[in-house]
Amino acid sequence: TDLADRVKELIHEGNVRRIIIRQGDHTIVELPLTVGVIGTLIAPWLAAAGAIGALIAQCTIEVVRSDRP
């Protein structure tokens, strides 16, 4: 799926620390990258459903990166 491919790209960049799902100012889920990666690799259909749910609920998916180049 597109979401799983995007997460794989982020892993290869090597400077991603966290994935955060927010609805407005409220944080719904905050995951270390490893948890998000395991979830998308084991069950990509679940990750896609989560992304669709986030869009329906008008949530944003934020990627937190480390400061290293």
Tens-digit pLDDT profile for residues 21-45: 778 888 877 777 766 566 666 666 6
Instruction: Please indicate whether residue 28 or residue 2 has the higher confidence score (pLDDT).
Output: 28
11: in domain: yes
Least Cα distance to 43 among 3, 13, 9 occurs for 3
Condensed to tens digits (0 to 9), the pLDDT of residues 46-58 reads 566 667 666 667 7
Q: Is residue 66 part of a domain?
A: no
Q: Which residues form the domain of 50?
A: 2-61
Q: What is the pTM (predicted TM-score) of this model?
A: 0.53
- Whether residue 6 lies inside any domain: the answer is yes
pLDDT at 66: 74
Residue 34 included in any domain: yes
9 is a domain residue: yes
List, as own/partner pairs, every contact residues 2-9 make where C-beta atoms lie below 8 angstroms and the sequence separation is at least 24, other chains included: 2/48, 3/40, 3/44, 3/47, 3/48, 3/51, 4/40, 4/41, 4/44, 4/47, 4/48, 7/36, 7/37, 7/40, 7/47, 8/40
Please indicate whether residue 55 or residue 68 has the higher confidence score (pLDDT).
Answer: 55
Domains: count for the chain: 1
Strand partners, 37: none
CB of 6 within 8 A of CB of 48?
A: no
- Is residue 41 included in any domain, yes or no? yes
On whether residue 67 sits in a domain, the answer given is no
